[in-house]
Structure 1
Amino acid sequence: MEARCILEHPKKGIRTFLIVWFTQSISVMGSSLTFFTIIIWLTKHQYPDESQKQLLAFALSTLGLARALTTIVLAPIAGAWVDRHDRKQTMIIANIINSLLAFGLMALMLVNSLELWSLMLLQVGLAASGSFHAAAFDTAYSTLVPKRFLPRANGMMQTMWSLSTILAPTVAAALIALPDMLRKSGGSAGWTSVITNLADGTALTIGVDALSFLIVAIILSFLTIPSPQRADLNTTQGKKKSLWLDIKEGFAYIWQRPAFLWLLSAFTIANFVVSTRSIFQPLILKFNLVADWTLHGFSYDTALALLSTSASVGGIIGGIFISSWGGLKTKRVYGVLLPMVVFSLGQILFGLASSIYLTAIAALISSGAIPILNAHSQSIWQAQTPSEIQGRVFAVRRLIAQCTLPLGTMLAGILGGLFNPGMMMALLGVGMGVYCFFQFMNPTLLQIEHDPNNPPEPDPNNPQHGIPQTAK
């Protein structure tokens, strides 16, 4: 075994982390606007009729599949890349590319030339760039925060996703309706005339996302984010290691640790179930709940915003809870499994509910469990994986955990078009809940933090760890 590289955290690491956390919230907010806007564009502009249910399901699943496959295929390459290159520069370049692609999407919308195939290509590009950004980001902030604060930091990261997205549905709906609102109010002078000339604000919403990427890239350029310096890039023959060899090392690290494999098995199933929600939710709302939300005076846009906002509120509650609490200090695997069971129950309720308000409560419950389980899982991986190989290991981890995303997205598109999407969603929740329940009796998984093959990484900011020694 090679010696571990003990990376000193910068003196202003906490401050830098808070800035990164804030800027990432801006970017996530913009991306959430785009995601919401694309769903609106597909359901109201491309496939508005009930007879187009199967076409809508196909479009939603195709886009989801394109994003998922791209992310999965590129994850190991991106992970190996960020272990070799400056992680801050990688994030900056990824944000600039994302901005350019978002501006391209906006331009196609403005000239009414956006088709499903071009939208899919842009989504592939955004997913590819996002893979490199995610690999760099996931490993970057652990170099800024001392190990003992990682559970709270991970809780803040989880809160960020929900906090950034809670406003997205409302803001997106407002931006989409803005041109019509200005026309009705008679505001057509000056800069407002540019907006009033638009049929709706879908392109305007995408433009906000494009600007958010640029803002983040500019702010990142002024920050100091350390990257571990590797001393193993050359082989014993004096040749430089190939990227493929780095990827193999990431696989080997996980394969040799059965507890990690069991943990990942739970996440592969969870991600399979979660991947279907982005397909089932619009279908459930459009066909299963239409009578109820119409009775309560909602439009499709506002009903979708209610469900999305409820899920975000649940995520914020869960994120604030784990950030304030700090998570379990030992036996963190229970902090993964129990919230997974809670998520499953929320999934079942979501699928079976016949009321828009009950469905919103289900979304809140299931989403509230996600920050808690993710924060505990991330803390386990960060504490027990050396900093200099986190890019490779985390990327392979993401590949294994998310390998079921394309399958779930594809099956959701088929099943949602042929059967009752609510019933399908509930059945998947039952399957996930049963699997997670039985993991409470898996001794290998329950001992994941005490695996002799996987000792915790030393924390240079914690004197209890003493002076790191060279492994023999």
Structure 2
Amino acid sequence: MNAAPAAAPDAPPNGWRTFLWLWGSQALSVLGGGLSGFAMNIYLTQTRFPLESQRAELAAALSLTALGWTFAAIFGAPLAGALADRWDRRRIMLTCDLLGALLLAGGVALVTLTTPPVWALVAYTAALGLVGTFHGSAFDTSYALLVPRAQLPRANGMMQTIWSLSGLLSPALAALLIGLPALARSGGGPAWLAGIRDGVPLAFAIDGATFLLAALVIWRLRIPSPPRREAGPRPSLGQDMRFGWKFIFSRPPLLHLLLTFAAVNLLTSGVGVLHPLLVRFALVPSEGAGGLSQEAALATLWTAMSAGGLAGGLLVSAWGGLKRRRVLGVLVPMVLAGTAQAASGALGHLGMLVPVCIAVACFGVMTPIMNAHSQAIWQSQVPPDMQGRVFSVRRLIAQFTAPVSTALAGLLAARYAPGGILLWAGLLMGLVAGAQLLNPVIRRVEVTLAPAPVAGAEVSG
């Protein structure tokens, strides 16, 4: 990892170094986002709706702010992707980082100077989600131009470590920040710090600072935007937004791979609902929890998953991933992840905390491996000047099942044991991925079946 991979004809000579700068700045930004996201939950729980009688309002606020971010990010993706292929991607990232810093400054004012209504908090998180999807569309389509094709799985593995590391560090760092004002009041700390009610504004401010730092890094870098291949008049923005759908649906192997991920998200995204219920009703009451409180047991469970994700990201980063038949690097980890989820449900039903943590850690290991190989396949199959439009539709199709999964998990958990739901969802995931191993269409996903269409050629629709 110390030596930069040799540049290939499809990457500039200093591309790997530029990617490392981008990766480092993005890692700080993601960590900052984890701090502010955790701080928002603490603000809603402890400051905005602290009373037991406000449980319904709290649940609604938590759900609505999360859905505001999710819907803005998912449904804003087609427009963000179309503009990423039309505009300079470096300028998009720079603008989004500055807008993110401005929004976080507004967030500091929002939680310190007023008592904001829930709709204002939902609009605030939706704005952050929209800025994030524009930044992500430009970022995800930029580093593929910097990294040699053979190193794409390694680069993607490094990107996956960012999210796992944030999940591992953000809760503890946010909790430390939130407690600093109280510590300053009890220990004679600085007056400005002691005068703050809690550290939520500090978390927002640090997140804003990471946006500014990322903007500074991007401002100093040279990031290419590929020239578009046009045939005839330039397509309209609406035609560009439809282009990704046509590209994907005209390539059955990519569509099969994408629908597989949509099914997996349907079967796994509900763990955010199921894990707290598993801890509350199955693990904490048992002797296997060792007397841990509900908060400590849940933190242990989620830390194990994040640690597994970090280990998986480091593994694929050091290994570099498969150079051929990368679809096996997607489907085999999916089968193993489904098995691990099923095991976590069965062991959780028996009240065995440590084995459940091992199972969810194994699930975490598999996630970055499958995601890194999938990203490498898409980056290799989609021409760089079309990746913004295609990747945005890809994100929408793959992730639209996530909120459905969350809602479905809540409905099922009202009637059935969370361990049983995890067990059957994991078994179904393994079955779906195993069936795709025998699917002749998806096995051709790395074969270029037809030339990519030129954007202007689709004007007639």
TM range (shorter): 0.7 to 0.9
Q: CA deviation at 1:414?
A: 4.1
- Relative distance call for 1:11 and 1:149 in structure 2 (3 A) is same
- Relative distance call for 1:391 and 1:176 in structure 2 (3 A) is same
Q: CA deviation at 1:269?
A: 1.3
> SS at the partner of 1:329?
coil
Assess if the C-alpha contact under 8 Å between 2:284 and 2:291 holds in 1.
Answer: no
Partner of 1:463: none
- Relative distance call for 1:139 and 1:360 in structure 2 (3 A) is same
Q: CA deviation at 1:136?
A: 0.4
- The residue identity in structure 1 corresponding to 2:235 is K
Identity across matched positions, percent? 41
> SS at the partner of 1:226?
coil
Partner of 1:279: 273
Partner of 1:377: 374
Partner of 2:310: 316
Partner of 1:402: 399
Q: For 1:250-261, what aligned pairs fall within 5 Å after superposition?
A: 250-261=244-255
Q: CA deviation at 1:199?
A: 3.2
CA distance in 1, matches of 2:86, 2:367: 31
Structure 1: give runs of 5+ residues left out of the alignment.
1-5, 456-472
Assess if the C-alpha contact under 8 Å between 1:53 and 1:417 holds in 2.
Answer: no
CA distance in 2, matches of 1:103, 1:281: 33
Assess if the C-alpha contact under 8 Å between 2:329 and 2:373 holds in 1.
Answer: yes
Q: 2:329 matched to 1:343? A: no
- Relative distance call for 1:314 and 1:9 in structure 2 (3 A) is same
Q: CA deviation at 1:142?
A: 0.5
Assess if the C-alpha contact under 8 Å between 1:7 and 1:387 holds in 2.
Answer: no
Deviates more, 1:294-303 or 1:174-183: 294-303
Q: Which of 195, 218, 221 is 1:220 aligned to?
A: 218
Assess if the C-alpha contact under 8 Å between 1:62 and 1:410 holds in 2.
Answer: no
Assess if the C-alpha contact under 8 Å between 1:7 and 1:143 holds in 2.
Answer: no
Q: For 1:178-197, what aligned pairs fall within 5 Å after superposition?
A: 178-184=180-186, 186-188=187-189, 192-197=190-195
Q: For 1:39-438, what aligned pairs fall within 5 Å after superposition?
A: 39-45=41-47, 56-111=58-113, 113-184=115-186, 186-188=187-189, 192-232=190-230, 236=232, 238=233, 240-285=234-279, 288-291=282-285, 296=290, 302-352=296-346, 353=348, 354-416=351-413, 420-438=417-435
CA distance in 1, matches of 2:410, 2:42: 17
Assess if the C-alpha contact under 8 Å between 2:344 and 2:359 holds in 1.
Answer: yes
Partner of 2:39: 37
Assess if the C-alpha contact under 8 Å between 1:61 and 1:412 holds in 2.
Answer: no
CA distance in 2, matches of 1:293, 1:26: 40
CA distance in 2, matches of 1:208, 1:58: 27
- The residue identity in structure 1 corresponding to 2:407 is M
CA distance in 2, matches of 1:131, 1:303: 33
Q: CA deviation at 1:97?
A: 1.5
Assess if the C-alpha contact under 8 Å between 1:156 and 1:319 holds in 2.
Answer: yes
- The residue identity in structure 2 corresponding to 1:445 is I
CA distance in 2, matches of 1:210, 1:417: 39
CA distance in 2, matches of 1:156, 1:106: 31
Q: CA deviation at 1:389?
A: 0.7
- Relative distance call for 1:53 and 1:427 in structure 2 (3 A) is farther
Assess if the C-alpha contact under 8 Å between 1:348 and 1:427 holds in 2.
Answer: yes
Deviates more, 1:220-229 or 1:307-316: 307-316
Partner of 1:12: 14
CA distance in 1, matches of 2:106, 2:115: 11
Q: CA deviation at 1:144?
A: 0.6
Q: CA deviation at 1:328?
A: 1.5
CA distance in 2, matches of 1:54, 1:293: 31
Partner of 1:470: none
- The residue identity in structure 1 corresponding to 2:323 is K
Partner of 2:456: none
- Relative distance call for 1:28 and 1:300 in structure 2 (3 A) is farther
Structure 2: give runs of 5+ residues left out of the alignment.
1-7, 453-461
Q: CA deviation at 1:384?
A: 1.3
Deviations 1:226-273 (A, max 9, x none): 0011241xx63x4x3201111222211111111111101111012223
Deviations 1:155-211 (A, max 9, x none): 111122222332112111211222223333x223xxx22222233322222221121
Deviations 1:76-111 (A, max 9, x none): 111110111111110111111122222222222224
Q: CA deviation at 1:339?
A: 1.2
Assess if the C-alpha contact under 8 Å between 1:61 and 1:409 holds in 2.
Answer: no
- Relative distance call for 1:434 and 1:131 in structure 2 (3 A) is same
Deviates more, 1:377-386 or 1:68-77: 68-77
CA distance in 1, matches of 2:226, 2:200: 42
Partner of 2:455: none
Q: CA deviation at 1:54?
A: 6.0
CA distance in 2, matches of 1:83, 1:266: 26
- The residue identity in structure 2 corresponding to 1:374 is N
Deviations 1:255-310 (A, max 9, x none): 11111111011110122233322333444445554546997565665544433332
- The residue identity in structure 1 corresponding to 2:307 is V
CA distance in 2, matches of 1:216, 1:167: 19
Tell me the TM-score normalised to structure 1 length: 0.85
What's the RMSD between the two structures over aligned residues? 2.8
Assess if the C-alpha contact under 8 Å between 1:88 and 1:225 holds in 2.
Answer: yes
CA distance in 2, matches of 1:39, 1:423: 28
- The residue identity in structure 1 corresponding to 2:106 is G
> SS at the partner of 1:10?
coil
CA distance in 1, matches of 2:286, 2:218: 46
- The residue identity in structure 1 corresponding to 2:88 is D
Q: 2:440 matched to 1:443? A: yes
